[in-house]
Amino acid sequence: MTVSGISTFGRADDSADPPTEGRAGTAGFPADYVTLDLETTGFYPNSCSITEIGAVRVRDRRIVDRFQQLVNPLRPIPAQVVKLTGITDEMVAGLPTIDEVLPRFVSWLSAGVSTDPDASYEPDSDSDTDADDSAAIAAVPFEPIVGHNVSFDIRFLDWNARKVLDAPFSCVDYDTMQISRTLFPSQRHHRLLDLIQRFDIADNEEHRALSDAIQTQQCLEWMHRYTDRHAGRGFGSVDWTDVTDKGNDTVIHRQLTLL
């Protein structure tokens, strides 16, 4: 289901800065995007299943809509996963499978850009993508995807999209783990839990898809503000490099670099 106008989790969110001009955020951060998170039965999409999809749509750096759905994985959920997420076999019994949920989720993603004439993706001139890939990149149907260790989520979505939709999952993504590692190289750990505690967002990670997606959005906006305040002082300036995913050339990872 989708519900508009929700509040964020954790402590009071001070991310409500004045909207940036245009679609691109300052320092190259996106202003309009979707933050997503998945819960799964394990680490490998070819042998494990999605149990929950959670996502929030962001406009001018503010959450405006959400998507949350538990998914029947058609297999027992391992005990260690139940302990981590709290999602049990009983909770997902009788619920829709990924064959039903994924088309609805993709439709929800697509609806976010259906009225946006500037939603197409244009690679940077110094991108690692080849000219031959331009047609595939132009076909990316969604606004930017943001996640924490987002490649994990994209691999599961791509594996299932190829089975259910007979097409790869295509997107441009930003990874809050990669951004944190670049901005704070002296820090040893960059889990979502580390970030929300370090940024004074919340004390605990719930390990539920929607909650984690919201906390990831808060982390991105915190690092956006941090970059705005410290560029030219703590470091010179920032740039972004576009890297094509090794397993799916219609996925572009946008990675932060410091100059």
Spell out the per-residue pLDDT of the chain, length 259, in tens.
333 322 222 333 344 444 333 345 578 999 999 999 999 999 999 999 999 999 999 999 999 999 999 999 999 999 999 999 999 999 999 999 999 999 999 999 998 774 444 444 444 444 454 444 433 333 446 789 999 999 999 999 999 999 999 999 999 999 999 999 999 999 999 999 999 999 999 999 999 999 999 999 999 999 999 998 888 787 778 899 999 999 999 999 999 999 8
* 127, part of any domain: no
- From CA 221, how far away is CA 215, in angstroms rounded? 10
- From CA 92, how far away is CA 202, in angstroms rounded? 28
* 27, part of any domain: no
* 3, part of any domain: no
> Using CB atoms within 10 A of its CB, is residue 113 exposed (0-12), middle (13-18) or buried (19+)?
middle
140, 170 Cβ separation under 8 angstroms: yes
* 38, part of any domain: yes
* 23, part of any domain: no
- From CA 103, how far away is CA 160, in angstroms rounded? 10
Output the domain CATH number for residue 79.
3.30.420.10
**Residue 157's domain spans which residues?**
33-112+138-258
* Helix axis angle, 150-164 to 98-111, nearest 10°: 110
* 105, part of any domain: yes
Total count of domains within the chain: 1
pTM of the model: 0.82
